[in-house]
Amino acid sequence: MDDESAQVAAAIAGELRLMDPEVRASRALARELLDPEFVEVGASGRRYGYEQLLAELPDKPGASKDGPRYDPSGMTGVLLAPGLVQVTFEARLGDRRSRHSSLWRRRDGQSDWRMYYHQATVVPPGVDPVPPATAP
């Protein structure tokens, strides 16, 4: 695996971990995946900072092993610059569909990838899913 593919794979792995109910329910585990300068614009339209999201994440949907779980599809990533990857995908949580875009970064001298920015948009009923990306 080349360096670009490895960076994209690391960001996608982090994205998938953040959808794991065990990680969502644990502030300590989620803290390992979020950048201290993290910002999110949620599907609700609310804006969250690092501390606010960590405080609320265990109570959000998808944080319970017995409740609905995120079901991602069409997840892809692109290296925007060394140490900066954009991940996009669509997800279902129960009956709700949403489209997501995240920026993952790895700071100089660090080996771990952290989510720096995330935005989600609810997909209204009747809108077709995004077709899978095709190679050029």
Residue 65 confidence (pLDDT): 86
- Nearest Cα neighbor of 11 from 109, 91, 78, 90 is 78
> pLDDT digit string (tens) for 33-75?
999 999 999 888 899 999 999 999 999 888 988 888 999 999 9
pLDDT per residue over 2-12, tens digit each?
789 999 999 99
A 10 A CB-CB count for 131 gives: 7
If one looks up domain 3-123 in CATH, what number appears? 3.10.450.50
107/35 Cα distance (integer angstroms) = 10
